[in-house]
Amino acid sequence: ESCEGPCEEERGAGGVPCHCHPECHRYRNCCRDYAHHCHHGGFSRSHDSITDQDLLRISEQLYQADENRAQLGDLTINPQYQAAPGELGHQLDHCPQPLYKYVNEELFSKPTYSSFIRLLDNFQRSTGKEEEVTEEELREQEEFLREVMETKVMEKLFTFLQQKNRYDSQEEFYSDLKEMWFGIYSRGDGQRDSSGFEHIFSGEVKKGKVSGFHNWIRFYLLEKEGTLNYLSHNFDGPWDTYPDVLGLQFSWDGFHKELGSAFIGSSPEFELGIYTLCFISRPGRQCHLSLGGHSLSIQTYPWTKSSYGTGKKFIATA
């Protein structure tokens, strides 16, 4: 589990939990001490490294490129009660009114929104239940990824990652996005029951609690149909335009989310892009970004119990 010694390991070496070859950052399977022992041959000291300054710069570029995000007239939220830290587990409804006071649903006719929404009914929300992926659902995944790949947000992200030697072509990037986000793994009882997309954007229920579920569009649609009840918030970001960031508590069909966070008013491509950036750049660590001059940190985690391709990791959460 250490790179002390095997820095010149050939890519493809098997039977080890982590790797030390020069492309291990690209495949997100480096040992923790890779930079310390192998700095001469890897991303940590080369032009391929993604520095903290790079992240601040590219995150601002992605923020500015998000043409499809909600404008101030498109969205009005009503945060109401702000819960103190000691109140987060109380499961009390402090907010008699919905979180979303108004949403201009014309937003949802934009191609990335409409293709995103079509994905949301494709999942069994309970972990431990096998996901059966139909041909139609596979087409919907591909349609969504094709739409987001045509946006300025994902064009800028691909250009950045290509310059950093993470991908050689848009086709390679597209294929990797499909695996890291929609590849299915087992989150419970050995069943192929979960994916990064389902967990983060659609939400799951595990051991009687809401797990994941960090998307404002999903929240709004369920609140509108009456199956989701907004309870309180504990954080409201400093942004006076969208996307904003909200920390919140809610119940979904009686299942409780004690502490969740979400962008408010961002486009699907922005969320997919910013989480992908952090997962590739800082998997399992804090990813420090800047949006509109304000600091933001995103924490991602790789799924460590299974992999795809040459040892690449699926997204567990962001």
User: What percentage of the chain has pLDDT greater than the value 70?
Assistant: 93
Q: Which of 164, 206, 257, 313 is catalytic?
A: 257
Predicted local confidence at residue 209, as pLDDT:
96
Return the beta strands (E) in the chain as ranges: 75-77, 100-103, 204-206, 209-211, 228-236, 244-252, 255-264, 286-291, 294-299, 301-308, 312-317
Q: What is the pLDDT of residues 163-222, one digit of tens each?
A: 999 999 999 999 999 999 999 999 977 889 999 999 999 999 999 999 999 999 999 999
Residues 226-284: pLDDT tens digits?
999 999 999 999 999 999 999 999 999 999 999 999 999 999 999 999 999 999 999 99
pLDDT of residue 101: 98
pLDDT tops 70 at residue 8: no
For the cut 60, the answer to whether the pLDDT of residue 12 exceeds it is no
DSSP 74: G
Written as six digits, the tokens of 251 are: 């119940």
Cα radius of gyration rounded to whole Å, the chain: 20
How many percent of the chain have pLDDT more than 90? 80
pLDDT confidence of residue 219: 98
List, for residues 217-241, the tens digit of each pLDDT value: 999 999 999 999 999 999 999 999 9
Whether the predicted pLDDT of 112 surpasses 90:
yes
Q: Does 199 qualify as catalytic in the annotation?
A: yes
pLDDT digit string, tens, across residues 21-78: 777 777 888 887 777 677 543 444 456 889 999 999 999 999 999 999 999 999 999 9
Q: Is 288 in the active site? A: no
Per the annotation, the verdict on 214 as an active-site residue is yes
The torsion angles phi and psi of 16, rounded to 5 degrees, stand at: -130, 150
Asked, as a colleague might, if the bond just before 17 is cis with ω within 30 of 0, I would say no
Report the pLDDT value the prediction gives residue 42, as an integer from 0 to 100: 40
Which of 199, 206, 233, 313 is catalytic? The answer is: 199
The yes-or-no verdict on residue 11 having pLDDT over 60 is no
